[in-house]
Amino acid sequence: MNHPQSQQHPDQRSRHQHDQSVFQSLLRDHQQIHRELINTEHGIRSMTTSHNPDIVKLLHDHVPAMHQRLLDNFSLRNWDAAFPEIFAQRDKVNMEVTLIPNGVLVEETSMDTNVIKLIQAHGHIVSLFTQNGFEQAKQVSPLPADYIRAI
């Protein structure tokens, strides 16, 4: 079940506010973040790092929190088509998050060819967040032209 912010339990509201605060800090300091993204046959592999220990702590918080939100179907950015699609397809997404001393490694895959397109598009969107910060976060994220929507 999706959890619109107006219908959240107080614990969910607090969790969402924390996640939002961490995301905004990462957007603000995006120039101190380095991200490498590789499209693979079944999805993506990414490495997101920083030389700033405070940013690394934020990455160590943010990435596992986003993975947990996907597992819990605790959606976000519902106004941005790519994000509700990922939550709608969450049962077809496999994600492995590995914390490393200077950041995070993520492998996100699917056996569904349609979902692979979505994973790769989302990976690109996250890379744009790290490149452009708040300016990118204001934008609607495009879905691949040949992606078949679940919702």
Quick one: pLDDT at residue 123? 99
Sign of CA dihedral 133, 137, 139, 141: positive
First to last CA, the chain: 14
Mean pLDDT of the chain: 95
Per-residue model confidence as pLDDT tens digits over 12-55: 999 999 999 999 999 999 999 999 999 999 999 999 999 999 99
Q: What are the sequence ranges of the domains in the chain?
A: 13-137
Asked whether the predicted pLDDT for residue 3 surpasses 70, the reply is no
Quick one: pLDDT at residue 5? 47
Quick one: pLDDT at residue 10? 81
Our measurement of the distance from residue 37's CA atom to the centroid of its chain's CA atoms, rounded to an integer in Å, reads: 13
Q: Half-sphere exposure of residue 15, counting CA atoms within 13 Å on the CB side? A: 16
The pTM of the whole model exceeds 0.75? yes
